[in-house]
A and B are shown apart, each in its own frame.
Chain A
Amino acid sequence: MHDDELTQDERTRMRALPRELDPDDSLEERTVRALRAEGLLRRTPSKIVRFPLSPLWLGAAAAALLVVFGGGFFFGSWMESRHTTEVVTEMHQQDATRAAALVQQTGSAYVSAMAALAAYTESKQQSNPQATPTSSPDLAQGREVAVNALHAAANQLVRIAPEDPLAVRILAGMNSAKHDTTSGTDRTVWF
């Protein structure tokens, strides 16, 4: 018995059959495990990156370290200076607030003291219509202190707001009034 030849059609159909086909992926792992179990394969070690210790590599590594260190240093300095600026700004803001509060407190005290002095002056005049505010040494001193304090305050007010017309006018008026005053000596006692 001998083989007969394939027809052209049969040959074509045979050639059309796939010669390659991938099995399930798990087969590769199964096979590797079986080979490991037989001691025929060793588990692939994880890749270790080794850098060559050439002078070029060492130089590059040193340069990189310097860049990293310098960058860290400057960044830290910048962060610290930024923090300091914030603290100073906050402190100045706190000082201004405290100063304004102090002005309010002392201003109230000044006005209250002046009101008390005015009430005392009025009572003196009612009991003795001939008396003037300067006839009593105490009243004269109180008045002088009040005027000087007001003048000093007006000076500071002009410093705070040089363009403020009210402050400028108060100071100018007080200066001219002071020049006109004939009373010689200041008896102001500053505490």
Chain B
Amino acid sequence: MTDEPDDMTMGRPSASPDDRQLADAVVQGGDERAFRSLYRRYTPMLYPFVLRVLGGSVADAEDVVQETWVRAVKQLGKFRWESSLRTWLTAIALNLSREVLRKRGRDRTEELTPDHVLPARPGRVHERLDLESAIARLPSGYRTVLVLHDIEGFTHEEISQQLGVAVGTSKSQLFDARRAMRALLQPAAETGHA
């Protein structure tokens, strides 16, 4: 699998009308204003995705988002616009996140500190914190599949292409991921009902 994903991989909705114009301005003229527009449009979506895949490490997530944009701008001229820019950026970010996980040998259950937890929504604080914590504590392989499938909405076919694994492996990973997540959530739920 290459660092830059094939834009044929994930069949998402097509790009916003002016994504291509902005991208052309960046590729052809190095237009900073156009880049900032793209950055502000897609980073709020990329950042929580990367943060979850990395288990809540803010510093790592910021590095990955920055590197995602650098690689994206380098490869933008070769992008064929057969999938959405969002899908393409997500794939780049996923590959970089997996590189970070591999380098740091994080294929283990991780502990979260409060700083690592994503901000809560009013009214569901404890529930949300429990779920985010449980996801962050999953082994990275499980976590990646669960985030891609249950939060980001990718299909097993798309995940298998992205991760370079068989569809069956993706399904099996998801099964294990959900079971592990439920196990992590169960004590808190029982405490809550007591």
Contact between chains at A21 and B127 (CB < 8 Å): no
Of the listed residues B26, B35, B131, B175, the one surrounded by the most CB atoms of chain A closer than 10 A to its CB is: B35
B150 within 8 A of A: yes
What class of interface size applies to chain B in its complex with A?
A: 35 or more
Q: What's the dominant secondary structure at chain B's contact region?
A: helix
Partner pick for A42 among B30, B62, B128, B178, CB 8 A cutoff: B30
Contact between chains at B30 and A41 (CB < 8 Å): yes
A43 within 8 A of B: yes
Q: How many pairs of residues, A versus B, come closer than 8 Å at their CB atoms? A: 107
Residues A7-63 near B (CB distance < 8 A): 10, 13-14, 16-24, 27-28, 30-32, 34-36, 38-44
Contact between chains at B44 and A1 (CB < 8 Å): no
- Tell me which residues across on chain B come within 8 A of A24, comparing CB atoms: 62
Contact between chains at A21 and B35 (CB < 8 Å): no
Contact between chains at A34 and B74 (CB < 8 Å): no
A41–B74 Cα gap in the complex (Å)? 10
Contact between chains at A32 and B35 (CB < 8 Å): yes
A32–B73 Cα gap in the complex (Å)? 11
Q: What's the dominant secondary structure at chain A's contact region?
A: loop
Contact between chains at A35 and B51 (CB < 8 Å): no
- Tell me which residues across on chain A come within 8 A of B151, comparing CB atoms: 14, 17, 19
- Tell me which residues across on chain B come within 8 A of A4, comparing CB atoms: 175, 178
Contact between chains at A35 and B35 (CB < 8 Å): yes
- Tell me which residues across on chain B come within 8 A of A27, comparing CB atoms: 43, 62, 65-66
Q: Could you tell me which B residues sit within 8 Å of A by CB distance?
A: 26, 29-33, 35-36, 39-40, 43-45, 47-48, 51, 61-62, 65-66, 69-70, 73-74, 118-119, 121, 124, 127-128, 131-132, 150-151, 171-172, 174-176, 178
